[in-house]
Amino acid sequence: MSATLASLRIRNLALVEDLLWEPPAGFVAITGETGAGKSIILGAVKLLLGERAEKSLVRSGADTCTVEGLFQIPADSRVHVILEEGGAEPCEDSSLVIKRTVSTGGAGKQFVNGSPCTLALLRHLGDLLVDLHGPHDHQSLFSRDQQMLVLDSFAGAESLRSEYAVRRRDWMHLTAEKKRLTENAEGLARELDLLSHQVAEIDEASLQAGEEDQLLARQRTGANAHRLCSICADLTGLLSESEDSLTSRWGDVSRLTKELHRLDAQTEPLSTAAAGIFESLQDLARDVDRYASALDADPKTLEATEARLDTIQNLKRKYGSTVEVVIEFGASASAKLAQLKNREERGAGLDGEISEARKALDSAAKKLSQARRNAAPKLADLVKTHLADLGFAKAGFSIVFDELEEPSPLGIEQVDFLFAPNPGEPERPLRAIASSGEISRVMLALKTSLAAQDSVPVLIFDEIDANVGGEIGAKVGAKMKELAASHQVFCITHLPQVAAAAESQFMVSKETTDERTRTTLVSTVGPARISEIARMLGGQAESARKHAKALLSGK
């Protein structure tokens, strides 16, 4: 079972006020006078498929127009996957409901199974559900890329083409990366040299946080070393080394206070205080001595300190206002240097990866090309068979390949569909065909040839039988009926031979009541269908009606 359009509801779209259509499966013909509004039906379907909506579509006097379509979807359809990926509600009872509203006063809205959705989701669903072919749509066959896709569809080579596309993308990414890494080799070398110098200079200095303050303090001490030593010597003399030093004289004070305490216990605080002062003087003398011993009056020490400060100042001028900033700069430069070295090494190692990627690409391209070349003569023969059915009894049709110098998005070759409608004429590319009637039949022959591979279930043909005569029209109708064995086929046509081949026929007409014009769509069966076919043949004369009956009976 394939999907079908089960119903179409249109409200206030152009001349359609309110229309509910429940088309059957199989081959359905849509007919009517020129200007009756057959294109409105097609326009409604296009809205469901996500085509851009113009506010002018809204019927005069209405604020909004609405189009709603019900599709019956088989359980194995990819539509279910797309709905899940798009966050839409799933189908219930195999029913997919798409609704689109267009407003004159604001943005339109679209819904899938009752939940709001994006136009992109509608377009994605439309690609899976409906294939439209109008007077201009078959011109896509002029594109050699489109011809390649047609051939791939017939060959069942879509998976091979996808694999090729992945391999080509990998190869292109690697070659692009190689180009980026090598296109500025001189600049990279200069940057590497500069960073290497900066990192080496900062690393060699072995800076420490807080070091500069310590060095400045040491510099001040070294600059006054001789005076400090002299002061320490005087202090040592006063405190302990001269004959009348403070510790010597205070020793006498301490002895006298101890004698005083021995004679009068109440004077113990005096003795204790004197003893404490004596110990403090001794401690002070020792501290001065230790400080003096630590003083370095050697000029070389001061020179080393000042040289270290000069080094720090030089680095600060280049890399930052403080030692900490210089250290941070060095760490950043070191990280960038490592990154650039990795980049340089990456560039050197890419050649091997590019070579392997190209081998994988060439292998995928060869498989894809072989599948195409195996399928091309089979497709050409099948198309010629269908062309013969469509009035080109001895038409020529072939598929030729042109090798490409570089892998393209679709492969390593291009194809060209060549066609010669008459024997003795050289085959020419389809794009060189001027006759719309000829190209329409070629398109129909291709479509019929691809019927077994075509997964799009609903086909709509909009007057592709234009410029086709009556006898050929019957063959076009027969070919569409053949397509209807595996698809739901709608054909908007002016040819009675095509309409008569349809399994069902609907007539579009305009009627005016209360000074308002409305487009209607009604099923034609029995006498009504005979009358419509007769109208298409040129009138309601008995001869036309007999001809209509003959067409409908297949005679």
Task: Write down the pLDDT at residue 227.
Answer: 65
Task: Give the per-residue pLDDT at 326.
Answer: 83
pLDDT at 346 over 90: no
pLDDT at residue 136, as a whole number: 58
Q: Please, which pLDDT band fits residue 142 given cuts at 50, 70 and 90? A: confident
Instruction: Share the mean pLDDT of the chain.
Output: 83
Report the C-alpha gap between 481 and 491 in whole angstroms. Answer: 10
Residue of higher predicted confidence among 79 and 260: 79
Query: Measuring CA to CA, which residue among 461, 492, 516, 490 is closest to residue 12?
Result: 516
Cα separation, 444 vs 27, in Å, equals 14
pLDDT of 217 reads 66
Mean pLDDT of 448-471: 78
Q: Say yes or no to pLDDT of 503 above 90.
A: yes
* Cβ neighbours of 129 (radius 10 Å): 25
At residue 361, the pLDDT reads 96
Q: Residue 243 half-sphere exposure, CB side, CA atoms within 13 Å?
A: 0
Q: Examine the pLDDT at 223 and tell me if it is beyond 60.
A: no
Give the integer Cα–Cα distance in Å for 510 and 517. Answer: 7
Mean pLDDT across 75-89 = 87
CA quadruple 292, 298, 300, 303: dihedral, nearest 10: 50
* Whether the predicted model's global pTM rises above the 0.85 cut: no
Do 316 and 326 form a contact (C-beta atoms < 8 A)? yes
Q: Which candidate, 449, 469, 451, 445, places its Cα nearest to that of 395?
A: 445
Which pLDDT tens digit goes with each residue over 349-374? Answer: 788 889 999 999 999 999 999 999 99
Q: What is the pLDDT of residue 494?
A: 87
How confident is the model at residue 333, as a pLDDT?
85
- Calculate the alpha carbon distances from 367 to 141, 173, 207, 376, 378 in Å: 25, 22, 63, 14, 18
